[in-house]
Structure 1
Amino acid sequence: MSTRLPAATVVGSINLDIIATTDRLPTAGETIGGGVLHQQPGGKGANQAVAAARLGGSARMIGAVGDDAQGRLMLEALSGAGVETADVAVLDGDATGTALIVVDRDGENQIVVCPGANAEFSLQGVEVGPDETVLCQLEVGLPAVMEASRKAQGFFVLNAAPAMDLPVELLERCDLVIVNETEYELIPALAEAKLVAVTYGKDGSAMFEHGRKVAEAPASAVTVANTIGAGDAFCAALVLALRARLSYEHALAVANAVGADAVGDPSSQPALAPLEEYVERTASLVAAKS
């Protein structure tokens, strides 16, 4: 058994994504025909763990699935991508989390998440080593996120999505918070956080220290196939790039490049190159600005 640390330990949601692709998104009360239906592994936690594994060689997942066929498929998908699943609980009596997603021809989406087992697990009995980098989101119960923040001794990251008021204890523990521009506006306390990365879609991303912008990087032009997993790939890439001691600007550029590859892939868990390739690809961009 390898003693190599996983690129990241992800505490978060594991979902089956049921996706309907249509020409446009329905309005309230409207029925749209002609959709194409497919299913694939998803969940913000699982998406980030898979991205971290593909970028960094391995990742560890802490979460839960139901004792059902969907849960077994999700575990197989995680393992197949290089994610360690020994600490994914299989909960009897709870269904595996499910996301119902509608995607239009431009890649925009509407999502309803049914959390199932994601809302029921805890980290009781799970150990987190002193050097592990831990990445959480808010698609699982807040108690599990709080548990993770107390157990984590190393670099602790929160992707504060979906947006909600954050306990002071949690925010103070975060070495990094990652949000999109809407979430940044919905969580005013982030203006006081020690380090926050904000994504702006086609306008790139920026880094803030205590509300002051300290770095930014432009987005890459790309044809959009699916935006569902792009933010998750960005999160994983940014965490790994910062842990590799890249500058804020270079780390943002790397994460933007990974996010661009993700939106060009129809999967919520897209194929990605090793992190080093994105570091090399963006080095000249960063050098040109300095």
Structure 2
Amino acid sequence: MEIAVVGSMNMDMIVHADRIPRKGETIAGGGIEYQPGGKGANQAVAMAKLGASVTMYGCTGNDAVGKELIDHMSSCGVNTEKIQTVEGVPTGQAVITVGEGDNTIVIIAGANDCVSIAYAEANRESILKADIIVLQNEIPEETVEYVIRMCHKCNKKIIWNPAPARTLDRELLDMITYMTPNEHEAGVIWGEKAESMDDLLMHYPEKLVVTRGEKGVSVNLKEEGIITIPAMKVDVKDTTGAGDTLNGAFCVGLSKNMSEKEALRFANAAAGLSVQKYGAQSGMPALADVERVLEEA
């Protein structure tokens, strides 16, 4: 199956510290590095490393950083032919602080804001050739909605990772195949309307997939009810990109005609491997590594 990712590309500036500073606090850092990132690019790279056929749709600036991001994705096996280079706009960036196995992230959109409806329309024919279309929220809201409606009309399988979280048009939820928020994002999207996470999962069987950090990932399966597939017990070094790895691997599992439960077990294993290395894309595992973990489980 072909997968299309319509989303963001960033260069991540990663600052390592003993812990994440509190509000108004200054602490010493242990080092700084630059790594390719952006939720769209991360998920595309995760898929490509796991053997999927994936095309990236998005925008970079006409700068050295943009060229580096495109070259890196291409080297990982992502089809980058549809990426647009935009003049006069910098490539997106993210500032990430990593400490105590967790992170905080601040995003500067840059050229990601140029992933417009016009860009999506110009690539309509190519996007609709894919079997699975994957979106996140680091590109303009109107573009995400346009692509969802466009793909729904053609009965495409749509996976929406609603991060960063924002309120959404409930009509769009009916159009997509899966939504994959984490617990915090689910809280932002539904607010106080849901009494618990189980309530939400009960309302959206086999559509809502909630990632829960070290707890694992939860879904409501029609035959089994609400289940939580536990996260791997590993030595966590860096959670940056773990959610993107899980999302990418889940899509790969679906492309291989796995059941939802099988695809989530596959995705959980990939995410568990990713947090044992530093960096979002650099920590993403190959297919053989995930298969080995599943065989040993």
Amino acid aligned to 1:163: A
Q: How many residues align?
A: 277
- Residue deviations 1:89-146 (CA, integer Å, cap 9, x gap): 1111111000011111x22111110001111222131022355211100011111211
What is the letter of the counterpart of residue 58 of structure 2? Answer: G
Contact 2:42 2:280 in 1 (8 A): yes
Normalised to the residue count of structure 2, the TM-score between the two structures is 0.86
1:263 is the counterpart of 2:275: yes
Aligned-residue offset at 1:155? 0.7
Summarize the Cα distance change of 1:214–1:284 in structure 2 as closer, same or farther, 3 Å threshold.
farther
- Counterpart among 254, 262, 266 of residue 242 in structure 1: 254
Distance 1:68 1:249, change over 3 A: same
Q: Deviations over 1:228-272 (max 9, x none)?
A: 111000001112212323233222211110000111111210241
8 Å contact kept, 1:250–1:282: no
Give the structure 1 partner of residue 48 of structure 2: 53
Cα distance per residue 1:175-214 (max 9 Å; x no partner): 000011121222228654451111111111111369x944
Q: Which of 121, 124, 129 matches 1:124?
A: 121
> Are the aligned partners of 1:21 and 1:36 in contact in 2 as well (CA < 8 Å)?
yes
Q: Is the CA contact (8 Å cut-off) linking 2:96 and 2:103 kept in structure 1? A: yes
Aligned residues of 1:215 and 1:248 also touching (Cα < 8 A):
no
Retained in 2: the 8 A contact 1:44–1:139?
yes
- The root-mean-square deviation of aligned C-alpha atoms, in Å, is 2.1
Matched residue, 1:80: 75
Is 1:107 aligned to residue 140 of structure 2? Answer: no
Contact 1:196 1:209 in 2 (8 A): no
Contact residue 193 and residue 209 of structure 1 kept, 8 A: no
Paired position in structure 2 for 1:175: 177
1:60-106 alpha-carbon deviations (Å, 9 max, x no partner) = 100111111111111111111111111111111111000011111x2
The residue aligned with 2:213 is 201
Distance 2:212 2:79 in 1: 32
Matched, 1:24 2:24: no
CA distance in 2 between partners of 1:176 and 1:110 (Å): 26
**3-state DSSP of counterpart to 2:122:** coil
- Which structure 1 segments of 5+ residues have no match? 286-290
Give the C-alpha shift of residue 39 in structure 1: 0.4
In the other structure, the counterpart of 2:197 is: none
Q: Hey, what's the Cα distance between the residues in 1 that align with 2:27 and 2:109?
A: 26
1:133 corresponds to 2:112: no
> Is the CA contact (8 Å cut-off) linking 1:96 and 1:116 kept in structure 2?
yes
Amino acid at match of 1:238: F
Q: Distance in 1 between matches of 2:53 and 2:12?
A: 23
Q: Which residue of 2 aligns with 1:38?
A: 33
Separation in 2, partners of 1:181, 1:70: 32
Q: Secondary structure at the match of 1:124?
A: helix
Matches within 5 A, 1:147-162: 147-152=146-151, 153=154, 154-162=156-164
Q: Is the 8 A contact 1:250 1:283 kept in 2?
A: no
Unaligned runs of 5+ in 2: 194-199
Mapped to 2, the partners of 1:169 and 1:96 lie a distance apart of 32
